[in-house]
């Protein structure tokens, strides 16, 4: 019984991956970033056909938090950085190094 359920779950995962691979339209995140050229949040939401406004707002806030979009005078602009992203990032590698050194002691 359990083996059958696992096989079914595996088949569902494969189907889901195939569906995602077939998607030809860009993701909402990519659309929002591409539309951030001096438009308001309402204009971006209207331009993203089929997307719910609260999902567009969530995507915009994630981009703002990551430093990829900035707001000036109520309009949204994508920040294009050359090379690395300007967003602050955690120092995970340093933390991992400290933990691995402690385990060696």
What pLDDT, in 10s, does the model give residues 14-30? 776 666 655 677 899 99
Tokens 């990551």 locate to 66
pLDDT, position 99: 60
**Per-residue burial over 56-85, b = 16 or more CB atoms within 10 Å of its CB, e = otherwise:** beebbeebeeeebbeeeeeebebeeeeeee
Tokens of 47: 């331009």
Cα distance between residue 18 and residue 86, in whole Å: 34
Q: Where are the domains of the chain?
A: 2-85
Average pLDDT in the chain: 78
Asked if 75 and 38 count as a contact pair (C-beta separation under 8 A), the reply is yes
- Its pTM stands at 0.57
CATH fold, domain 2-85, is: Arc Repressor Mutant, subunit A (1.10.10)
């Amino acid at each position: 019984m359990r083996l059958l359920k696992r096989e079914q779950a595996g088949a569902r995962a494969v189907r889901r991956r195939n569906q995602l691979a077939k998607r030809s339209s860009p993701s909402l995140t990519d659309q929002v970033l591409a539309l951030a050229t001096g438009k308001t949040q309402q204009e971006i939401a209207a331009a993203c056909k089929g997307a719910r406004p609260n999902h567009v707002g969530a995507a915009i806030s994630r981009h703002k938090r990551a430093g990829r979009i900035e707001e000036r005078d109520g309009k949204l602009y994508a920040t294009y950085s050359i090379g690395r992203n300007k967003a602050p990032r955690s120092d995970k590698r340093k933390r991992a190094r400290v933990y691995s050194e402690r385990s060696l002691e």
